Amino acid sequence: MGDKELSPGSVPPGRLLPQEAYDADSIKVLGDLEAVRKRPAMYIGSTSESGLHHLVYEVVDNSVDEALAGYCTEISVTIHSDNSITVVDNGRGIPVGYHEGEKRSAAEVVLTVLHAGGKFDTNSYKVSGGLHGVGVSVVNALSDLLELEIWRDGYTWEQSYERGVPTTELKRAGKTNKRGTKVTFHPDAEIFTVVEFNFDTLSQRLRELSFLNKGLKINLQDERADRGHEFCYEGGIAEFIQHLNKGKAVLHDKPFYMEGTRTAGTMGDVQLEIALQYNDSYSETVFSFANNINTVDGGTHLSGFRSALTRTINNYGMSAGLFKDVKENLSGDDVREGLVAVVSVKLPQPQFEGQTKGKLNSDIKGLVEAFINEKLNEGFERTPSAARKIIQKAIDASRAREAARKARDLTRRKGALDSASLPGKLADCQERDPARCELFLVEGESAGGTAKQGRDRRYQAILPLKGKILNVEKARYDKMLGHEEIRSMITAIGTGIGKDDFDLTKLRYHKIIIMTDADVDGSHIRTLLLTFFYRQMKQLVDHGHIFIAQPPLYKTKKGKTEKYIKDEKEFLRELMRQATENRTVINGSEQVLESRRLTKFLSDLADYFALFDKLDKRVRNRLVVNLLAKADLDKKVDFSTPDKLRQLEQAIQKLGFKATMRFDEEHSLHELTFVNGGGAEKTINWELASLPEYKRLRALAKENVQLDIPPFTVRSGSASVKYGSAEELLNSILAEGKKELTVQRYKGLGEMRAEQLWETTMNAE
């Protein structure tokens, strides 16, 4: 599947643990998969986008656990064009021996039995992130297809599954000098509401994992858009901090980095790794992890960190005589202003709250507190100038907090944030039930005027915003409250602001919709608004009250008929439809194509050439790709004998390229290598033929073999034009389609009339 070759069995110096037995006897079985497909949300959190990505995390976590145990140094994740995923590691490989308790192979047990794995055997894994994580068995159950390949003990082992049920036995395919595991799965569309993976979402999590596991190399490739990232950070979370502070003005050059192991009674050894650095912003960014799991709701490790940070800074400031003009101790909020920190703990048998593992419950607060008190004090003693800068910033924050309290009290007394005194430019709605009300935050006065005319005044309110609002990431609380546009929003929304005053029950509109232009300025304003809500009214984001309007990208017009189009894909479909409306195509075998049949043929051609280009990027020879599209190499069995590949070899040699057959011992299959026009050696094998884009290309080629017969004659009225190839035909018809349409590409909301804005963007129906 185009995965990167991993160095066989290599491990970093000093990280390899004594070789514990990890075999069929290490696999403990605690349950089965009966309920998974019936109630998937119980196991992966949801069946929406977050649950979909959780599948990848479960497989990757197994590989990371191998790295934690000292047996894996590289992981590769590939998103294929059909949204299937391949995860490869160079760990020990899932055990393949016979499992006495289950009467089948250990690998099949791991793939088909819930809570089966080495994580429940403390001799196999001292620390694991997937503890009551459900593991690869749930991924298997929720995938319509899963292919397993294991490299272990000098052999390659393979097995296939559909919706959790094995369709083949685990069989030995060939010899290899590699070790590790390769899992390819395709999420089941019957289970998930979304089956398209987000590159940025996966990239963020894999980057995190690489930061949290020093020296672990993680490669992410997206074949849909031909892009990728490689993550490897020898500096661990200290580099994570520098990544988070990129582009920001920091108070001290080097992050404070603390690492060590402490014993927590009967719990055993706890590994602690903490890094922190301050910048000149006014917000706090703290990430906490337990066994690589992002504990978004915190837990005992985060509580210990926060209390120790406050105590250590106060104690150091007092002993260094820095609090002469300070009336009271600095609060936790004061010392965390501008803080960027990562707290990572690794402990045996962690206790979490809830299935999503958002909060660590294991009692290690005191242990973390003592560790930070000791290490941070040492750090302050070594770099007193950095300590003074941090404490001075906290003192400034304390004074600003007091000023903000006074400003808020004054504002409250004047009633400026009271919903009884709504801003004058707010065009409110008539409905009084917040659950039925919508508030549009509109960029600019002119677009605001258009929106006011186009809205349904019964339930839609409009608040025009002038210019770009304040960047709350770089402004203190008192300055933010002094900004007119922000005050208008706070008043209109009605919840109040700040820890003491925010009240979600007073929300006046359950839908707050950001509506900006589709240009750079509009994108910037949208980002500033989202930053404000995330930093100051996060509960609105968490409870799903913030929306983004999506105006159309195009308007097409033909005669009196107008149509609004949201994206480029739909625009291409519309061009096809228009271009084939009054045209007939006759192919080289006198078959007549018109109406829907012609539109489908042209759509298939567009898909075919897009896939053709993708394969050409791999093979780097369009003539050979053309041969592959016609080659009968669709099944694995086609590579088990040399006959069909021999025909392809001769065809490539006739084109003037050097081609050679060889046997792949690792998979016991035949393959063909050839030297392309650029002098590079390329391989045609089952791995290439099993790519989703190749399968789809072959399917389209077979489906249209009776129609794709040049030359093509296009008739429109009394005129006719002849084309020598399908590609010429497609390009010509698309060009004609554009000529017949009047196309308007929208850049801003102000370009639309009130009724257009209502029809395309504001009308939810």
Q: Which two tokens stand for residue 648?
A: 């392809």
d(CA 672, CA 670): 7
In Å, what is the CA distance from 667 to each residue of 9, 86, 622? 18, 17, 28
DSSP 272-336: EEEEEEEBSSSS-EEEEEETTEE-TT-BHHHHHHHHHHHHHHHHHHHHTT--TT-SSPPPHHHHT
C-alpha pair distances (Å), 650 with each of 131, 180, 618:
54, 36, 21
DSSP 8-state class, residue 762? I
Catalytic residue from among 333, 521, 740, 751: 521
Length of the chain: 765
- Give the amino acid at 689: A
634 carries an active-site annotation:
no
**Angstrom distance (rounded) from CA 158 to CA 170:** 6
363 is catalytic: no
Kindly list the strands in the beta sheet with 511-515, ordered across the sheet, starting from the edge strand earlier in the chain.
Answer: 460-465, 438-443, 511-515, 546-548
Torsion of CA 614, 199, 468, 457, to 10 degrees: 90
Which residues are within 8 A (CB) of 112 and not within 5 positions of it... i.e. 6 or more apart?
A: 32, 33, 137, 140, 161, 164, 165, 166
SS3 of 620, please?
A: coil
Report yes or no: 107 and 159 within 8 Å, Cβ to Cβ. yes
DSSP letter for 618, please. H
CB of 587 closer than 8 Å to CB of 702: no
- Write the DSSP assignment of 69-118 as a string of letters: TT---EEEEEE-TTS-EEEEE-SS----SEETTTTEEHHHHHHHSTTEEG
Catalytic-role residue among 223, 369, 438, 443: 443
Task: Give kind and range of the element (H or E) at residue 701.
Answer: helix 692-703
Active site residue 517: yes
Selected catalytic residue, list 334, 517, 649, 671: 517
Q: Is 443 a catalytic residue?
A: yes
Residues in Cβ contact with 183 at an 8 Å cutoff, skipping those fewer than 6 apart: 59, 86, 87, 88, 136, 139, 146, 147, 148, 149
Annotated active-site residue in 519, 542, 613, 755: 519
State how beta strands 511-515 and 438-443 pair: parallel
Between the CA atoms of 196, 201, 206 and 207, what dihedral angle is there, to the nearest 10 degrees?
150
554 forms beta bridges with 565, 745
Q: How far apart are CA 687 and CA 683, in angstroms?
A: 9
Phi and psi torsions of 761, nearest 5°: -130, -40
Q: Active-site residue numbers?
A: 443, 517, 519, 521
